[in-house]
Structure 1
């Protein structure tokens, strides 16, 4: 079954008390796919979860309510799980048309000096200087999204290797 599905995002924390969860899509194009169910991998088995309601909060994030998930305790069991769709639901065109910095939402940023800085939670493009909103533990950073700092992009592992200027991030990233 694993060869028939593609990871398209992950569930974050529950939202509210009625079982709603935040779904973070790996790519903007994945959020455009209209489906009635998603697969969650539970103990190595891909289990379909039918969508009762979905509301988008931005291009890559939605609040999803699955059938049978009606309270915070149940929703919490599924937090941090990867979300999958059947490969036939995806098209090569969707993958090829993905552009922009939003592509890196969900990527881990690793600086060659400071190490793991955290995961790109969002992209702030409200100003001319686009920024990655990066979160690690209880720390949040805004890192300029510029090709000048990028050393390597590992799409398979979802890692962005960077070389940030000294002093841009506080040295205490532990």
Structure 2
């Protein structure tokens, strides 16, 4: 791999049910070295009652929107500080994210990782396809996939993008891995 595209952290950002978690797992199998995968679902699962408690600070709106409390945001900062420390210590990370605040959230996350070299990958999926996937999964809040399919990309600046609407997860993972292996110079 070229040093230009040899990140310590790969951030996959996309809406719910876009295929980020599956791409993360596929990348772990095809990228050289050992990569750890973490994401917003890992963090939420660690919250009281897996995020389904009022104490977790997450409000799932009827239309699929999500509201986060100040307490949630403070704990989220602690989570990312820990992940940043892991990357700084030498761990390679793949972060499976749903950055609800788009570009502002990207800057917030980037600032928490300081000088760690991060690559940003947009994982897109047509809203109707994401909604169909969501309907097949009992652990999803109805309407969230459609709500997030486009909004999580607002203001984001990506190094690379994939679209899972009509491409397999494996093909998308290989696209990312292939792009990382390119020599830009």
Query: Fold conserved (TM > 0.5)?
Result: no
The answer to which structure has the higher strand fraction is 1
The answer to which structure has the higher helix fraction is 2
Scaled by the length of structure 1, what TM-score is found?
A: 0.24
| Greater relative contact order, per chain length (Cα 8 Å cut-off, separation 6+) | 2
Larger radius of gyration: 1
